[in-house]
Amino acid sequence: MPASAPEELDIQITTTAEVSQEDARFAREVVAWAMAHAQGPVLYSRVTLSVLKDPAVPRPALVSMRVDLNGRPVNANAAARTMPEAVNLAGRRLRTRVEHLAEYREARRRAPARSMTSGGPRPWGPAPENL
């Protein structure tokens, strides 16, 4: 997943000692790829990469991606057998959530405004003329 963001993102990456610099670099590229089509400014982005030392854990590579997209928090987490696999999975989840947020905002923008004085149903009870 190549980075294709129009401007350089400031991405804070936290790792445990078991995570390589190559994995951290790859995580940075994946977050930039996920945010390439984000609508609005990215105010904050943080990635946490860690590996559990317990051999009994089937998916020891853990990734947490957190982004503040113009005041809206967007989070994605993943666990996998290898770190690149976990980063890929979390990156796809982050991109899906960012796209969903953009679709939600577009739907809200296009929806007609509801008037509280109209005769339509209200979530907390009957319309005023029916009282």
- Span 11-102 CATH architecture: 2-Layer Sandwich (3.30)
Residue 85 has pLDDT above 50, yes or no: yes
- What pTM does this model have? 0.74
The model's pLDDT over 21-50, given as tens digits with 9 standing for 90+, comes to 999 999 999 999 999 888 888 999 999 999
pLDDT reported for residue 129: 63
Q: Is residue 41 a contact partner of residue 52, using CB atoms and an 8 Å limit?
A: no
Domain residue spans of the chain: 11-102
Question: What is the per-residue DSSP string for 35-67?
Answer: TTT-SS-EEEEEEEEEE---TT-S--EEEEEEE
Residue 116 has pLDDT above 60, yes or no: no
